[in-house]
Amino acid sequence: MLFETIRLALRSVRRNALRSFLTLLGIVIGVAAVIAMITIGSGTTEKVKQDIAKLGSNLLTVYSLRPMRGGDTNFTPRALNERDMEGLLDGLGDVRAISATSQQTSRVVYGANNLAAQVTGADTDFFIARDWDVVSGRTFTESEVRGGGNVCLVGQTVRTTFFGDGDPADAAIRVGRMSCRIIGVLEPKGTSGFGQDQDNVVVMPISTFQRRIAGDRDIGQILIAVNDGVSTAEVTEEVKAILRQTRRIAPDQEDNFDVRDMTQVADAMTSTTTVMTGMLGALAGVSLLVGGIGIMNIMLVSVTERTREIGIRLAIGAHEKHILVQFLVEATVLSLLGGLIGIVLGLSLAGLATATLSIPFVPSMSVILLAVGFSGLIGMVFGFFPALRGARLDPIDALRHE
């Protein structure tokens, strides 16, 4: 009986093809909007997560604080140095990597070409902490880091600018006023979540950086990679305790350094995009509601138009519930059909948008099921009133209807 009714409903949809299509359009647009918005939103969240993972997950960044202009600060500013680094190396328990790094933007020259690149002084642990490998060549040796060798690694942007597809191994580039020999090429990292080209880099031993680029013994940041499963918050506390000692901060003074926890940054950013996704989805949901009203409207027209048909059916023995189910099924079939087309359209739109924005395409099965379920529900809810109106018709009046 139900199968029969569905067949009947499909036939009625087909017979009024244009009208059905226009009615469907409301649902199609609604479902497509919801799916596209949520898929693009989830893609954005995923992209942020990936970007932060690129910076290194479980990564703590220690940096010194500078007094804020006009601010009332209760600390003595002082850069990080060798002693802080040693204190952490001795005092911290089991961590994956501790790396002293410094950065400065410098002009890098090779032959007739030059570009402004991020020049980073680093040690061997830097590549572990940042989870950054070479695609060719090698990273530094311990002796190169200690001895301040004139060697460097370049990022993909630097490599393509200077060498195109060629092999830059052993080429000498000028960084600021020093010359260094390229020993390796770093794997591409892409653009960071903050919009910075992470491949426009030259990495050299920190001792070389301090002597030849910065001209002092300061350390810019200390990166600490925490082992998987270890709480970054706990390690942060340990780091703070050690640094207060090595930096001889009096108990009544505030920290003149800070520890940034990447997982916290990641959480903050993903929660922002998640809220955004939800809001976009809810807005798109409103259009689904409008689509539902379209269904109700057309079902009312359909019931009026087919009053005589309802009369015939009632006269030859259809029960109220048969008529009710017939129109309900028709409305549901109509909106489900719209839902299915909407899914295809929404996913296509999302696929196009994610490809254009170069963010991951992450279709969610639950969102798709929800959209189908919701469009079916809309058909039933908005189809119910017109269906009931049809079912309650008096057969004699309905038969007289012209």
Partner 1 sequence: MNMRADIPLLAFRDVWKTYGAGEAQVHALAGVDLSIRQGEFVAIMGPSGSGKSTSMNIIGCLDTPTRGVYDFLGVDAGALDRSRRAMLRNRYIGFVFQGYNLLPRTTAAENVELPLVYRGVAARERRALAMEALAQVGLEGRESHTPAELSGGQQQRVAIARAIVTRPTLLVADEPTGNLDTARTHEIMDLLTNLNVANGLTIVMVTHEADVAEYAERTISFLDGKIASDTARLEAA
Please report, as ranges, the residues that interact with partner 1 according to CB under 8 A.
Answer: 1, 4, 15, 308-309, 311-322, 395-396, 399
Give the distance from CA 127 to its chain's centroid: 25
The length of the chain is: 402
In the block, tokens 């359209």 appear at 345
Least distance to partner 1 from the beta carbon of 331, Å? Answer: 19
Nearest to 369 by CA among 31, 29, 23: 31
SS3 breakdown of the chain: % helix, strand, coil, rounded to 5? 55, 15, 25
Provide the greatest CA pair distance for the chain: 104
- Between 197 and 309, name the residue whose CB sits nearer to partner 1: 309
CB 82 within 8 A of CB 219: yes
- Between 318 and 345, name the residue whose CB sits nearer to partner 1: 318
Residue 29 to residue 293: CA distance in whole angstroms: 13
Looking at 306-319, list the stretches that DSSP marks H as alpha helix, in order from N- to C-terminal side.
Answer: 307-315
- Between 94 and 402, name the residue whose CB sits nearer to partner 1: 402
**What DSSP assignment string belongs to 58-123?**
TEEEEEEPPPPTT----S----B-HHHHHHHHHH--S-SEEEEEEEEEEEEEETTEEEEEEEEEE-
Residue 24 to residue 88: CA distance in whole angstroms: 65
- Between 353 and 399, name the residue whose CB sits nearer to partner 1: 399
- Between 157 and 302, name the residue whose CB sits nearer to partner 1: 302
Least distance to partner 1 from the beta carbon of 385, Å? Answer: 19
- Between 15 and 69, name the residue whose CB sits nearer to partner 1: 15
CB 274 within 8 A of CB 289: no
Q: Where are the beta strands (DSSP E) in 218-319?
A: 221-225, 257-261
Least distance to partner 1 from the beta carbon of 12, Å? Answer: 10
Least distance to partner 1 from the beta carbon of 311, Å? Answer: 8
Least distance to partner 1 from the beta carbon of 389, Å? Answer: 15
Cβ-count burial 27-37 (b if 16+ within 10 Å, e if not)? bbbbbbbbbbb
Least distance to partner 1 from the beta carbon of 322, Å? Answer: 6
Nearest to 255 by CA among 104, 17, 76, 391: 76
As a whole number of Å, the CA-based R_g of the chain is 33
In the block, tokens 């919009």 appear at 195
Least distance to partner 1 from the beta carbon of 2, Å? Answer: 11
- Between 260 and 321, name the residue whose CB sits nearer to partner 1: 321
- 341 by DSSP, 3-state: which? helix
- Between 20 and 200, name the residue whose CB sits nearer to partner 1: 20
Least distance to partner 1 from the beta carbon of 314, Å? Answer: 7
Strand-strand pairing, 257-261 and 134-137: unpaired
Least distance to partner 1 from the beta carbon of 312, Å? Answer: 5
Burial of residue 250 (CB within 10 Å: 0-12, 13-18, 19+) is exposed
- Between 1 and 365, name the residue whose CB sits nearer to partner 1: 1
Least distance to partner 1 from the beta carbon of 326, Å? Answer: 10
- Between 146 and 321, name the residue whose CB sits nearer to partner 1: 321
